[in-house]
Amino acid sequence: MSPSLLVVLCQLLLLLLLGNSEPSGATLIRVPLRRAHPGHSILSPLGTWGQSIEPSRLGTPISGNKSTLVALSKFMNTQYFGNIGLGTPPQNFTVVFDTGSSNLWVPSTRCYFFSVPCWFHHRFNPKASSSFQSNGTKFTIQYGTGRLSGVLSEDTLTIGGIKGDPVTFGEALWEPSLIFAFAHFDGILGLGFPSLAVGGVRPPLDTLLEQGLLEKPVFSFYLNRVSEGSDGGELVLGGSDPAHYIPPLTFVPITVPAYWQVHMDSVKVGTGLYLCAHGCSAILDTGTSLITGPSEEIRALNMAIGGFPFLAGQYLIQCSKIPELPPVSLSLGGVWFNLTGQDYIIKILHSDFGLCLSGFQALDIPKPAGPLWILGDVFLGSYVAVFDRGDKKSGPRVGLAKARSRVAGRGGGEAAQAQFSSGRPG
């Protein structure tokens, strides 16, 4: 393995360790996903740091409707993130829109001196905002690599060109390890359920709903995983866009309203290997890059596709074998959702030669929360997910449908062939 490839793999490892259609007349906040094409700057983790975020990327209203656009970025098909504003005037931050958490936090100018990641990202300055309100309550979020801590504050949130009343967010004073230093984002905006929020803080989505900025507690992700170009897809707050997917949507009820957790019927590899044979729990998580599952089952899956162990439960595979790889099919709501080798293998370098990263990672989540499968961006890049919090009549659910191809830029491209059916895969 060449030294340069090893550097890329190590950096990618650090990044990966972080762990019904809309009603007419609904108010939508449309967030076009713009991706940052890293090119050779992948080899230099400082390549995109220090660049200011253009205020226009916070979004501007689209004439003729209530939707607005905000540019988001993606990194190596493994991270999707975009820009928000906090304060008056807005201080701009790049955040991960994460369905696996429920808090909003960004680094603070008051961060501790030895919190190294803080110095490489945009930091919130309460003295520069005329609408800042002090809270002062301490908060802590435990990640797999350490504990992030800080204080809660209140200020106005600008997203999709819409500015509402103050939201409660975290000013991070301490960020654990170098993983956050290598991250291409400043903070995280959680889109999980309120029960998941640390400190009992009301999640940003709930605040937007209370303020009447969203008509429905629904949002959807369309992630563009085409290698070329800068278009990364779109996040729609307040509904979904049927132009993003090939109907119909398959709705799966939420079993535990904390994470977006559902029941998965089965997983099949090729024509012979069945996993999750008696059903299992899975969560749909935009903040996770790969698909993770119990180590024994992921080991069997990667052996079936020719992968070999690398680090931290991850597997590598020869890039030249991608066209020959068997489909991996996941059964949700009685429908099979198929992934081809092109869908579930990540090319670390844009080449058909060398080593590629398997999209299936071993991760054992202990009881009572686990065992769990996590369906991250490898799955959500192929299938649009419509996250619906529900109401008094209907419970929360997730709708899934095959994403349309997007090779010709936003709104362009022809529909990809549907890869799901009502029966078992052949």
State the chain's mean pLDDT as an integer.
79
pLDDT of 140 higher than 50: yes
Q: Using 50, 70 and 90 to split pLDDT, how confident is the model at 250?
A: very high
Q: How many whole angstroms separate alpha carbon 275 and alpha carbon 14? A: 28
Q: Under a CB-based contact definition with an 8 Å cutoff, are residues 292 and 376 in contact?
A: yes
Annotated catalytic residue, options 98, 155, 206, 377? 98
Q: Using 50, 70 and 90 to split pLDDT, how confident is the model at 125?
A: very high
Which residues contact residue 9 at a Cβ distance below 8 angstroms, ignoring those fewer than 6 apart?
A: 1, 310, 311, 348, 355, 357
Strand locations in 58-132, DSSP E?
Answer: 60-61, 68-69, 72-75, 79-86, 91-98, 104-107
**What's residue 420's pLDDT?**
33
**What's residue 351's pLDDT?**
63
Q: Which two tokens stand for residue 56?
A: 């226009």
Positive or negative: CA dihedral 418, 335, 190, 360: negative
Mean pLDDT calculated for residue range 225-245: 79
Q: Under a CB-based contact definition with an 8 Å cutoff, are residues 92 and 75 in contact?
A: no
98 catalytically annotated: yes
Q: Using 50, 70 and 90 to split pLDDT, how confident is the model at 352?
A: low
**pLDDT-above-90 percentage for the chain:** 54
Annotated catalytic residue, options 155, 285, 343, 377? 285
* E strand or H helix at 180: helix 179-182
**pLDDT-above-70 percentage for the chain:** 75
pLDDT of 132 higher than 90: yes
Task: Write out the DSSP string of 184-227.
Answer: S-SEEEE-S-GGG-GGGPPPHHHHHHHTTS-SSSEEEEEE---S
Whole-model pTM: value is 0.82
**What's residue 58's pLDDT?**
38
Task: Give the pLDDT confidence of 73-113 residue by residue, as tens digits.
Answer: 344 455 678 889 999 999 999 898 999 999 999 999 999 98
Task: Give the pLDDT confidence of 290-327 residue by residue, as tens digits.
Answer: 999 999 999 999 999 999 999 889 999 999 999 999 99
391 catalytically annotated: no
Q: Could you give the dihedral angle defined by the CA atoms of residues 35, 36, 40 and 44, in that order, rounded to the nearest 10 degrees?
A: -130
pLDDT of 334 higher than 90: yes
Task: Fill in the DSSP letter of residue 414.
Answer: P
Task: Give the pLDDT confidence of 104-115 residue by residue, as tens digits.
Answer: 999 999 999 888
